[in-house]
Chain A
């Protein structure tokens, strides 16, 4: 006879109970699962990556419909439970009852709402579930939307970072003197605040919310000190309290949460509780690790096995990409406690250890958290650290004479050291999975759940794999350029400059290339880095160029080519047009098209005709338009003051000057420019790599626009008064991009890495540097600004582009 188990709440804790139950007794239970949310179980701690756009809802679903169907679980999603009848042993929602033999309450917690005036306005939400996350995503869709997050704790900061990543203007209001005051100390809180501010998030500490303003909808937040922050969305993340109403109504014993014993049983022997709604030994829980321990105990209790819940210390990490912080244990100042502090201001690293009676009792780290789990292990185990006190702060690599090798540190961890905090997985579990055949991170995730939740322990799991498997496991390092090297796109150009490597064989030899002559990924990149760094010494290698650049025309899907002559600033004349028309007739061009960059494209040219058509077009004064190059493509213009009644400057003239200065230069990716004569922007300057808008008082220069795979508006580099300054800034910007960007990164991608402010410091503010950049660009142009058509419209090239032999007239035998 199957027993009936009713569960109220489909959260992470109850989901884990179901898994344990099914694993140990697949046929013993008829399970009915109520959930107030209209969906099943998902990984709630991953809502932040969903909010920031790094993951989708589908990525964080832990149990899908198939899972529930397959295990015959009756799902009553979207039904809030209203009453428990403990005498009849029935649970009721508004849609009817469900009888139980055992009942599990997993109602979680409810967020606090500060009852200030205006807290009920539309647009004020908490950050608790998928619906809240979706509401924030929707709010961010409005251009220029503003958000205020009330609460600078873990959840509030993840919400703030996510909203900022979605493009909103974000202010965080925090009541206390520094952020995350329960997990951090003031120094680490300061570094965190600095990091967030550098991302453009406003942080207001010691801010008490007085009222939320608005008529039909939230419009602003007013603080006690009189500050007002505009807001299209307000997110309250000030704390949670256990959701106990249903248990209170059923007259179960309640403290701050539903009281449970070590077996997770409430005051009614047939009712258990798990998760954020429970109170155990007067303690509440808010992190996922103890819930998973509780879930194990709940399953054991239901199956009649012995188990007891024992809370363990937990450590905290903030799930905001690019922010490294770690805190564990107790680090309040107190009598008899001593601190060891390490600071490296240049790197933004801060570490603090709190020691009491020769034992580590607390650790806070910011900026470099690699040793976090080792410190955490010392705290949990109460290890006597007197022997290693002098070097303790430097981490496990410096203890016991071992080498400064992170693998050695992981290898030295005992088997019961916790690796995955979310899932409470210790090193021993991972090692036994590896001994059972698991050989990759994916295997470990599938078999042990380690690193399957928030993922911050992924690096550690990989180190356990590496230290257990030895050479059989290759540590994924930073993404290398390609399979020929372990070095990244950041390393290689740096080493080319530092070691003055001036040829491809020199690079491959000195940097230890694993292949004899590279591959189609690294060769074009190396060719670019070398010619950009050493224009006078390096010889361009045609065989390291993609076919388009080698043949100075775009290859099409049928192997024919398209040919685009340059039209400076989009200007042409009847003579050029006649020459293009004649060429189209002569070479039987099947299609003639005007491109998006104001040029004419001749499509469908046979390869062997290329040197001939170039010669004909050259004769009419036309040169290659480089429509195929990782270099300057076009400078799009409007007609400016010549004809337009709104035009403020000679935009066409400026476009032509820029194109004549920049053409022929090689860049990490294609580069497109535009010059508009007025803010009506007919040349579409605001989505170009460099876009200039002429206004009455001068020139507004925007950079980092895109209109391809990504859509991005330019950001304002500078506004200048004269045309010469506009040209200088553009040239300096392009040279800075040539010298620093990774091959195949368009300027907008590069800008996202280095930041507009750094670029402004280099080319706008530092006049000497600007001049030096321009000088280096012009030097390169003395060598590379050549029309490839003129170079190759020779009898030799005409022969090279033709077949080597024609055997079509040889008869078959």
Chain B
């Protein structure tokens, strides 16, 4: 892993998200109510909804377009829906958000 500092934890509101642009598309970086961070692809596999704009609850996010719910930990759709979004290693150190640069640059397919 090669950890890349992409910003401060406080750049993201609690239960909110911000985007990181990559050549493969946008990755949504979430900060949950308990100050953990998760990074997943920003596109809902259903109709491409921007997951970064969804309501965050627990360690899940609800897509703003049609209410599919995804686990931020596994990227799996919850409940009756099927599908998943790619997840990326993310952690917080000293108030900074670190993502795995190699994974981000290679994209989800790798």
Contacts and interface: CB of A to CB of B under 8 A. Distances in A.
Interface of A: 515-520, 523-524, 542-547, 550-551, 555, 557-559, 800, 803-808, 810-813
Contact of A804 (B29, B53, B58): B29
A482 to B, nearest CB: 10
A559 B54 CA distance: 12
8 contacts: A545-B55, A547-B64, A555-B65, A558-B48, A804-B97, A805-B6, A808-B21, A812-B105
B56 A543 contact: yes
A309 to B, nearest CB: 48
**Which among B7, B21, B47, B49 has the highest number of chain A CB atoms within 10 Å?**
B21
A543 B15 contact: yes
Contact of B49 (A550, A559, A811): A559
B40 to A, nearest CB: 14
Contacts of B13: 542-543
B58 A803 contact: no
A806 B21 CA distance: 5
B49 to A, nearest CB: 7
A546 B58 contact: no
Nearest to A551: B53
Contacts of B50: 547, 555, 559
A743 B24 CA distance: 40
Contacts of A812: 23, 105-106
B48 to A, nearest CB: 7
Contact of A523 (B12, B21, B55, B97): B55
Nearest to B58: A516
A805 B21 CA distance: 6
The 3 A-B residue pairs with the shortest CB-CB distance, nearest first, are A520-B62, A804-B18, A543-B15
B72 interface: no
Contacts of A811: 105
A743 to B, nearest CB: 14
A803 B105 contact: no
A544 B55 contact: yes
Nearest to B106: A812
A550 B53 contact: yes
Contacts of B4: 807
A515 B55 CA distance: 14
Given A803-B20, A810-B104, 14 more contacts: A515-B57, A519-B57, A543-B15, A543-B55, A545-B55, A547-B64, A558-B48, A559-B49, A803-B21, A804-B7, A804-B11, A807-B23, A807-B101, A812-B105
Nearest to B26: A803
Contacts of A804: 6-7, 11-12, 18-20, 29, 97
A505 to B, nearest CB: 10
Contact of B47 (A557, A805, A806): A557
B55 A810 contact: no
B75 interface: no
A807 B19 contact: no
Interface of B: 4, 6-7, 11-16, 18-23, 26, 29, 33-34, 47-50, 53-58, 60, 62, 64-65, 67, 69, 97, 101-102, 104-106
Contact of A557 (B19, B65, B102): B65
Given A546-B55, A551-B53, A805-B7, A520 B101 contact: no
B20 A547 contact: no
A813 B107 CA distance: 12
B11 to A, nearest CB: 6
A518 B57 contact: yes
A807 B104 contact: yes
A811 B22 CA distance: 10
Contacts of B60: 519
Contacts of A558: 48
Contacts of A520: 54-55, 57, 62, 67, 69
A323 B33 CA distance: 46
A794 to B, nearest CB: 15
A366 to B, nearest CB: 42
Contacts of A808: 21-23
B16 A543 contact: yes
**Which among A516, A520, A810, A813 has the highest number of chain B CB atoms within 10 Å?**
A520
Nearest to B23: A808
Contacts of A516: 33-34, 58
Contacts of B12: 804
A560 to B, nearest CB: 10
A555 B64 CA distance: 9
B5 to A, nearest CB: 9
Nearest to B14: A543
Nearest to B7: A804
A807 B53 contact: no
Contacts of B26: 803
A550 B47 CA distance: 21
A728 B70 CA distance: 46
B110 to A, nearest CB: 9
Contacts of A800: 18
B23 to A, nearest CB: 5
Contacts of A557: 47, 65
Nearest to A548: B64
B37 to A, nearest CB: 11
Contacts of B53: 547, 550-551, 555, 559
B48 A813 contact: no
A546 B53 CA distance: 8
B30 to A, nearest CB: 11
Contacts of B48: 558-559
A807 B11 contact: no
A791 to B, nearest CB: 15
A524 B18 contact: no
A524 B53 CA distance: 14
Contacts of B101: 807, 810
A292 to B, nearest CB: 37
A543 B32 CA distance: 11
Contacts of B58: 515-517, 519
Nearest to A544: B55
A813 B105 contact: yes
B105 to A, nearest CB: 5
Contacts of A543: 13-16, 55-56
B73 to A, nearest CB: 14
B21 A807 contact: yes
A517 B57 contact: yes
A267 B105 CA distance: 92
**Which among A518, A544, A547, A551 has the highest number of chain B CB atoms within 10 Å?**
A547
B38 to A, nearest CB: 14
**Which among B6, B47, B55 has the highest number of chain A CB atoms within 10 Å?**
B55
A331 B48 CA distance: 67
A26 B10 CA distance: 73
A635 to B, nearest CB: 28
A810 B21 CA distance: 10
B105 A810 contact: yes
A542 B101 CA distance: 31
A517 B58 CA distance: 6
